[in-house]
Amino acid sequence: MILVAFICLTFNAYAQHAGYTQLTDLTKFKQQFAEVAEKTNSIKSDFTQEKSLSMLSEKISSKGKFWYRKPNMLRMEYTQPFSYLMIMNKDNVYIKDGQKENKVSTRSNKVFKQINKIVVDCIQGTALNSADFKSAVYENKGTYLVSLSPVNKQLSEFFKTIEITVDKKDYSVNTIQMLESSGDSTTLRFTNKEINANIPDALFVIK
């Protein structure tokens, strides 16, 4: 879930899409989104995450740092209120939760392989062309809202919709909201974004 949340990257989206108007012609948006993604070699940002559980009235909030670099390397490091680390380096995923460490190959794990594909599609700007989702795009004065509804049976078991808000100024992702089939939701908000920042190899090393 965390993988998807952060690699498609964070947004203020609402189920009713209040304040947004649906785009009828997606050609221009798809082209510009893909062009920007093609020129984006790396992303560095802070992030906040809010988790809403159907069983709890209060939201669970956390903060951390996010790094991405082409072709398929990602690091998401939670720093508050707990320490949690996830590194994705091509076909391998490393997770550290406190003293517990786990390594997973996306080649042998279908779930991680699917999540990996979603992340890559989002970052490369090809998510709108994915056969795994039915997509719609909305806009207001400052942002686009991309709504992805899974048509893939395996994905629909986890997600009801994935909604992404994109800044019109530079086509960077502001928020990602994942609505789960269970009724729970996770929202990622990206701030202090640095596009094409110099990010060292060491951040993505999986030992």
> Tens digits of per-residue pLDDT, 157-201?
777 888 889 899 988 888 888 888 777 888 889 999 999 999 999
- Report d(CA 8, CA 173) in Å as an integer: 8
Q: What is the mean pLDDT of the chain?
A: 81
pLDDT at 5 over 60: no
pLDDT in tens, 34-87: 888 888 899 999 999 988 887 766 778 899 999 999 888 889 999 999 899 989
The answer to whether residue 207 sits within a structural domain is no
Give the whole-angstrom CA distance, residue 190 versus residue 128: 21
Which residues are bridge partners to 162 per DSSP?
Answer: 148, 178
Q: Residue 130 is encoded by which pair of tokens?
A: 């994915």
Quick one: tokens of 19? 């304040």
Query: Is residue 60 domain-resident?
Result: yes
User: For residue 121, what is the domain's CATH number?
Assistant: 2.50.20.10
Residue 204 belongs to a domain: no
- Given a cut of 70, whether residue 12 has pLDDT beyond it is no
Sheet holding 92-97, edge to edge: 21-22, 133-139, 143-150, 159-167, 173-180, 185-195, 42-52, 60-69, 73-80, 84-89, 92-97, 100-105
**Total domains, the chain:** 1
Higher pLDDT, 206 or 14: 206
pLDDT tens profile 15-28: 457 789 998 888 88
Tokens 């964070």 — which residue? 10
155 in a domain, yes or no? Answer: yes
Please report whether residue 156 resides in a domain.
Answer: yes
Q: Which residues contact 16 (CB under 8 A, 6 or more apart)?
A: none
Q: Tell whether 93 is covered by a domain.
A: yes
Contacts of residue 164, Cβ cutoff 8 Å, sequence gap at least 6? 8, 9, 10, 11, 13, 122, 145, 146, 148, 173, 175, 176, 177
Instruction: List the domain range (segments joined by +) for residue 135.
Output: 2-199
Band of the pLDDT at 9, cuts 50, 70, 90? very low
Evaluate whether residue 51 is within a structural domain. Answer: yes
What is the DSSP track for 8-22? H-B----TT-TT-EE
- Would residue 36 count as lying in a domain? yes
pTM for this one?
Answer: 0.80
